[in-house]
Chain A
């Protein structure tokens, strides 16, 4: 199966705000100094909508739940604690896991913005690292190579066993 990459290289942007980390609230102690009676419930830490710690990740998010058995992923920069398909910060590409009529799996990547986010300290998830490795942006992921070797070994043993059975 061929994997065709539709690369999207955009030119550099105007104003950069490298302040991704500015979005994190400073970790103020949320414990109250006064002691409340035990019947009271401390809800503010549960209901606060600011993120306390956490980092940015570049990962795959399932898109478009209008059709069953037809997955489609968006390569997305989002906060670590967010839901997989929830609000993200920026979309950096797409990945279609089902091959098309020419037996290709299409992937699109916005390298400029990926560079920016990694420069701001984003982590990448395993599938995204593998995709980038296959694209040539990152080095090839070790597991890609290992999986290929394993499959090759399995195929060899299968063929040798078949030949023995024939004989």
Chain B
């Protein structure tokens, strides 16, 4: 579907770089000004269509009448349009309409404000709850930590006590001689025999 370009955009398109190799356009008539006339049209004299003078007079009268009526209609319509515009702006209903619109607007704004307040309250409550929850969690975490610390301390204390107990039986430089003599006096025999049924015999040849 080719649309006829107007002369301005056509010239502009020609001046700017054309996007396509072939500039597609709708052309009026195939020939330009300098092309020769066709052979069949060489001796042709163009005459305007013949005018009947009687008909022309009658037509002129008709046209005058027609144009009178048309211009009168135009003025009528113009007046109507202006009257409507005037009524719309400064008519009896215009003020009421403006007032109603203002009322509606203020009512809606008030409703909006109320909604905002409501949402604010809800939000505050929610934030409060969340804060409390967070505090609770922190408190509990602190308790747990405390408890864990206590358990750890207890474990360590027990270990300490055990070590202390065992330290009494350690071999020190003072006990060394005594313990050596004790060890030599009481030889311990760790040999034992065990059979497949699991009977253990601690008594050996070596006493």
Quick check: is A81 within 8 A (CB to CB) of the other chain? yes
Q: Is the CB of A65 within 8 A of B84?
A: no
- For B59, the chain A residues whose CB sits under 8 A away are 142, 146
Question: What's the A-B contact tally at a CB cutoff of 8 Å?
Answer: 68
| Residues of A27-78 whose CB lies within 8 A of B | 41, 43, 45-47, 65
- For B62, the chain A residues whose CB sits under 8 A away are 142, 145-146
Quick check: is B11 within 8 A (CB to CB) of the other chain? yes
- For B70, the chain A residues whose CB sits under 8 A away are 138-139
Least distance between A43 CB and chain B CB atoms (Å)? 6
- For A139, the chain B residues whose CB sits under 8 A away are 65-66, 69-70
Q: Is the CB of B6 within 8 A of A142?
A: no
Q: Is the CB of A83 within 8 A of B4?
A: yes
Which residue on chain B has the smallest CB distance to residue A45?
A: B8
Q: Is the CB of B6 within 8 A of A83?
A: yes
Interface centre among B3, B55, B66 (most CB of A within 10 A): B66
Quick check: is B74 within 8 A (CB to CB) of the other chain? yes
How many angstroms between the C-alpha atoms of A141 and B3 in the bound complex? 31
Which residue on chain A has the smallest CB distance to residue B13?
A: A46
- For B82, the chain A residues whose CB sits under 8 A away are 18, 119
Quick check: is A118 within 8 A (CB to CB) of the other chain? yes
How many angstroms between the C-alpha atoms of A86 and B26 in the bound complex? 15
| Residues of B53-111 whose CB lies within 8 A of A | 55, 58-59, 62-63, 65-66, 69-70, 73-74, 77-82, 84-85, 88
Quick check: is B167 within 8 A (CB to CB) of the other chain? no
- For A161, the chain B residues whose CB sits under 8 A away are none
Least distance between A39 CB and chain B CB atoms (Å)? 12
Other A-B pairs, 7, CB within 8 Å; known A16-B88, A118-B74: A14-B88, A81-B6, A119-B77, A119-B79, A138-B70, A142-B59, A142-B63
- For B58, the chain A residues whose CB sits under 8 A away are 146
Which residue on chain A has the smallest CB distance to residue B3?
A: A83
Q: Is the CB of B15 within 8 A of A43?
A: yes
Quick check: is A85 within 8 A (CB to CB) of the other chain? yes
- Assign chain A's interface to a size class: 20 to 34
Kindly supply a per-residue 1/0 record for chain A positions 114-149, scoring 1 wherever the CB is within 8 Å of any chain B CB and 0 otherwise.
Answer: 011011110000000000000000110110011001
Least distance between B43 CB and chain A CB atoms (Å)? 30
- For A84, the chain B residues whose CB sits under 8 A away are 4
Which residue on chain B has the smallest CB distance to residue A66?
A: B1
Kindly supply a per-residue 1/0 record for chain B positions 8-38, scoring 1 wherever the CB is within 8 Å of any chain A CB and 0 otherwise.
Answer: 1101100110000000000000000000000
Q: Is the CB of B81 within 8 A of A120?
A: yes
Which residue on chain B has the smallest CB distance to residue A41?
A: B15
Quick check: is A15 within 8 A (CB to CB) of the other chain? yes
Which residue on chain A has the smallest CB distance to residue B69?
A: A139
Quick check: is A25 within 8 A (CB to CB) of the other chain? no
Which residue on chain A has the smallest CB distance to residue B97?
A: A14
- For A81, the chain B residues whose CB sits under 8 A away are 6
Quick check: is A12 within 8 A (CB to CB) of the other chain? yes
- For B69, the chain A residues whose CB sits under 8 A away are 138-139
How many angstroms between the C-alpha atoms of A141 and B63 in the bound complex? 8
